[in-house]
Structure 1
Amino acid sequence: MMNAQSATAAQTTPEQRAVEDDLVARVVASFDDTADPRLRQVMQALVRHLHALIREVRLTEQEWTAAIEFLTSCGNITDGKRQEFILLSDVLGASMQTIAVNNQAYANVTEATVFGPFFVDDAPRIPLGGDIAGGAPGEPCWVEGTVTDTDGNPVPGARIEVWEADEDGLYDVQYRDGRVSGRAHLFTDEDGAYRFWGLTPTPYPIPHDGPVGALLARAGRSPMRASHLHFMVTAEDLRTLVTHIFVADDALLDSDTVFGVKQSLVKDFTRQAPGVPAPDGRDLGDRTWSRARFDIVLAPASTRRPEGPRHQG
């Protein structure tokens, strides 16, 4: 039985292929005089691949119209707190592929993963051992670790941004009351160490009440993300790291809808029984809590690839 591509080739006459080839060549050539060589490279590659898709699947005019309407819907639902195009990039794996291209393996550095659409600038600063929860509901979680370079030297003063959803699967920006919770920034001490209280991560769905959610539903795909805690780590002369850590026993590790899980980022979040003393003496009463360790290794800034606009997908 022929596959879709070979069947298409068999059904297209040489004359028709010549017409289509000519169009591709003319559109590619239309960018020959683009002054910016990188823009020229990207646009010509885009034309070739886009036309290849149209020709491979023999896209109908009705399907082309539906695609335009879908993209228009993504634009209409996007605002200052919701970026539907980031969600689309995420669920197509484009976000993770961009991260893979721009964060090539180097020595023993901590792996990067998707930024996600819920980062917010100017999160409050907390001291070492402070609490990022800000009143958000969830089980307390103690997180600690170190930041070092690839030679094992501690990185004092590294800025660590952390953010996460609450136990109901929502980030603070998804509420309409202006709350700031589940996010903060802190700095490593002179030994490169950090520690803070957060919430034990829980699974949650990406926003799926818009066109991307409708696409996932039609494809029979789940909108669920594996439980995780976001980090962004910056330090002078070192490559910025955007990553998160995942809960080791999460059932969604193999089906994370944005393909963000990497095995090196799966960590034990060890649950503690009520009454077990907290590392900093915090009184947790009769509540359970968890603890996790995440040691971070940053690459030299010289390994950074050419940067475009900050990726948020």
Structure 2
Amino acid sequence: MRNVTKENITDVFISYMADDMPPRTREVMTSLVRHLHDFARETNLTHEEWREGIAFLEGCAAIETEDRHEFVLLSDVLGLSSLVDMLHSSPNATSSSVLGPFHVSGAPPLPVGGDMKRDFGGPVLLAEGTIRDTDGKPIPGAVLDIWQTAPNGLYASQDDDQDMFSFHGLMTVGDDGRYAFTTVKPVEYTVPSDGPVGGILNACGRHPWRPSHLHYIVTAPGYRSLVTEIFPDDDPYLDQDTVFGVREDLVMSYKEKPASEFPDGLALSGKVTEPFLAVQFDVTLARE
């Protein structure tokens, strides 16, 4: 096409695509470019703004490392990660939520009833529940990948004072589908705001805070994998999570209990001498 104009450039782009390209790729690319071109036309995007946008993307790429995922963070703070989660959540299962940029693969096995608190300060938190199918039946052998922040608000991948798998564990449940572990109460924290994504937050007058939460990835053969988080109902940032991760069914309550009520059969049984926090949260998986 030798006569490309601002009115026809979108159609020209589409005409350049091969006839035999995969249909889904054609659908996604067509929609992406239509919206991208419409955005530029609607805002009358300037050369300076275009250069600033390119520099922003290059800045994200420059700061990317094995432990720092700036593009994931960008997707999170724009709400795209949560939107994709919600588009593909099963209505009969536990809601999905954002993975976030701090998951570390290969966590060590954590037995049912195991402890992740170790020598960290703060009251003990006992988290337990049952992994079920949509009929309410336990799912034997389901695997729960758990991670969270330390009391200082940092994930292990952010903190040189923690080992790589601090506050990470991989638990395989038994025939009853029950999981249980002890840890510390997670704290609210800020997403990294020292990079390009922090510039977006500042430009929009937004804060970088997330409510405290526990991360779960739950998998089982024959079921859809679930990436989710659970949030306490008393967190001050529950209604203004900067990555839009909160869902109504993911909000739970911590209950303070006396040490005398700490149950048997756990790694810390007989060792808890002060009041502890307890939360019960069941997880429902949908079949594939």
The TM-score with structure 2 as length reference comes to: 0.93
Q: Do 1:161 and 1:184's aligned partners in 2 also have CA atoms closer than 8 Å?
A: yes
The residue aligned with 1:28 is 14
Measured in 1, the distance between the counterparts of 2:31 and 2:80 equals: 16
Q: 1:223 aligns with which of 205, 208, 213?
A: 208
Q: Does 1:123 align with 2:107?
A: yes
Deviation at 1:299, TM superposition (A): 0.2
Question: Is 1:300 equivalent to 2:287 in the alignment?
Answer: yes
Q: 1:89 deviation in Å?
A: 0.1
- Three-state SS of the structure 1 residue aligned to 2:115 is coil
What does 1:11-50 align with in structure 2 at a 5 Å threshold? 19-33=5-19, 35-50=21-36
Q: Distance in 1 between matches of 2:59 and 2:14?
A: 29
**Structure 2 stretches of 5 or more lacking a match?**
none
Match of 1:246 among 231, 248, 268: 231
Letter paired with 1:198:
T
2:107 partner SS: coil
Shift of 1:187: 1.3
Deviations 1:216-258 (Å, cap 9, x if unpaired)? 0121101000110000111111111111100111111110000
Equivalent position of 2:166 in the other structure: 181
Q: Name the aligned partner's letter for residue 284 of structure 1.
A: V
Does the C-alpha gap of structure 1 residues 20 and 267 become closer, same or farther in structure 2, counting only changes over 3 Å? same
Partner of 1:290: 277
Aligned position for 1:96: 82
Aligned match for 2:196, one of 191, 198, 211: 211
Aligned partner (choices 250, 253, 256) of residue 268 of structure 1: 253
Show the counterpart of 2:241.
256
2:184, 2:130 → 1: CA distance?
19
Q: Which runs of 5+ in 1 are unaligned?
A: 1-17, 302-313
Q: Whole-Å Cα distance in 2 between the matches of residues 239 and 23 of structure 1?
A: 41
Measure the CA separation in 1 of the matches of 2:174 and 2:28. 43
Residue number in structure 2 paired with 1:11: none
Distance in 1, matches of 2:118 and 2:23, equals 48
Q: What is the deviation of 1:277?
A: 3.5
Deviates more, 1:62-71 or 1:24-33: 24-33
Tell me by how many angstroms 1:207 deviates. 1.0
Q: How does 1:105-184 map to 2 (within 5 A)?
A: 105=91, 107=92, 109-176=93-160, 179=163, 180-184=165-169
Cα distance in 2 for partners of 1:59, 1:49 equals 13
Distance 2:196 2:122 in 1: 30
Give the 3-state SS of the residue equivalent to 1:21 in structure 2: coil
The one-letter amino acid of 2:147's match is: W
3-state DSSP of counterpart to 2:57? helix
* Equivalent residue letter for 1:193: R
Alignment partner of 1:201 out of 186, 195, 201: 186
Q: Deviations over 1:85-142 (max 9, x none)?
A: 000000000000111122242x3x1111111111111101111110123544443210
Question: What amino acid is aligned across from residue 290 of structure 1 in structure 2?
Answer: L
* Structure 1 residues 138 and 73: CA distance shift in structure 2, 3 A: farther
Q: Which moved more, 1:136-145 or 1:251-260?
A: 136-145
Q: Provide the secondary structure at the position in 1 that maps to 2:8.
A: helix
SS at match of 2:6: helix
For 1:69-88, what aligned pairs fall within 5 Å after superposition? 69-88=55-74
RMSD: 1.6
Kept in 2: contact 1:31–1:43 (CA 8 A): no
Structure 2 residue identity aligned to 1:93 = G
For 1:199 and 1:135, locate their aligned partners in 2 and report how far apart those are by CA, in whole Å.
10
Q: Summarize deviations over 1:24-64 as a string: whole Å, max 9, x none.
A: 11012112435222111111111100001001111100000
Q: Indicate conservation of the 8 Å contact 1:149/1:155, yes or no.
A: yes
TM-score for both structures, normalised by structure 1: 0.85
8 Å contact 2:64–2:70 — kept in the other structure? Answer: yes
CA distance in 1, matches of 2:118, 2:200: 34
- Measured at CA, do residues 77 and 137 of structure 1 come closer, stay the same or move farther in structure 2, by a change above 3 Å? farther
